Amino acid sequence: MSAPELAGRVALVTGASKGIGAETARAFAAAGAGVVLAARDVHALEGVRDEIEGRGGKALVVPTDVAADDAVAQLLDTTMRTYGRLDFAANAAAAHTGRPRPLAELTTEEFDTALAVGVRGLFLSLTYEIRAMLDSGGGSIVNIASTACLQAVSGLADYVTAKHAMIGMTKTAALDYAAEGIRVNALAPGPILTEQLERAGADAQAGVAAAVPVGRIGRPDEVAAATLWLCGDDSEFVTGSVLTIDGGRLAGTPRFR
């Protein structure tokens, strides 16, 4: 994958230790951007960095808890001191949900954890990313949400609430900074073959794929490709949008088979 307008630029990816975040970081690096990798798991981040550098790319590891103001401030300070600019950001950090269960069975701690990462963490990430992009002359931010930002999922009240809030924040930030040359969009992936689905096994994967109109589960690299498109010149008139990547799941009810 290559995008000339990304070469020599700087991209920050939160949640870069695995899954969609890690694949997005690899895609930015393959397109020639210098990449800043942020997440809490430093060892996983180092693995992604080593892979990127082994392919000739450039990556900087900055262990970060996106729910902590000081940590996010330090992340962006390190980015600017190292590279002198920030052009792109992909916010893929998310709290892992536990076993699905009805809303009234969730603990306050579980609900607060989901919002600390998914809402407070996104707010802090956007705040410091936007400040850095204002100093850099503009940029593009992509928030990685889920189809749960547009449609509820029974038993996942904490996760769904956080994802819905992401869209409100995305659209507001897009309006606030459009005139300053900063675009903010969101992606809403459907079922994607990341670690969680891989652990679920072949039978579970087949069941999920059967509910997707195109008949398969999505791949992390497909989400990464959409992220890079939203950061590139071909999407320069796109901001405040939510792009679904779900094989048609939210389009409606598929034909009876």
For position 1, what pLDDT does the model report?
Answer: 42
- The CATH number that applies at residue 88 is 3.40.50.720
Domain count, the chain: 1
Average pLDDT over residues 225-254: 94
pLDDT averaged over the chain? 94
Any domain includes 13: yes
For position 208, what pLDDT does the model report?
Answer: 87
For 25-51, how does the pLDDT look when each residue is reduced to its tens digit (9 = 90+)?
999 999 999 999 999 999 999 999 999
Any domain includes 256: no
| Pairwise CA distance, residues 200 & 219, whole Å | 16
> Which pTM was predicted?
0.94
pLDDT band at 53 (very low <50, low <70, confident <90, very high): very high
Any domain includes 253: no
Any domain includes 203: no
The answer to whether 171 touches 240, Cβ cutoff 8 Å, is: yes
Any domain includes 250: no
For position 96, what pLDDT does the model report?
Answer: 67
List the domain range (segments joined by +) for residue 142: 4-191+220-244
Active site residues per annotation: 159
For position 210, what pLDDT does the model report?
Answer: 85
For 132-171, how does the pLDDT look when each residue is reduced to its tens digit (9 = 90+)?
999 999 999 999 999 999 999 999 999 999 999 999 999 9
Any domain includes 207: no
Any domain includes 252: no
Tokens representing residue 113 in the block = 């954890």
For 87-142, how does the pLDDT look when each residue is reduced to its tens digit (9 = 90+)?
999 999 987 667 899 999 999 999 999 999 999 999 999 999 999 999 999 999 99
Tokens representing residue 129 in the block = 């990313």
List the 10-14 sheet strands across, edge first.
Answer: 58-63, 34-39, 10-14, 88-91, 139-144, 182-189, 242-245
Burial per residue of 177-188, b for 16 or more beta-carbon CB atoms within 10 angstroms, e otherwise: beeeebbbbbbb
The CA-to-CA distance between both ends of the chain, in Å, stands at 36
The neighbour count for residue 119, using CB atoms within 10 Å, is 20
Using a 10 angstrom Cβ sphere, with 0-12 exposed, 13-18 middle and 19 or more buried, the burial of residue 39 is buried
Any domain includes 185: yes
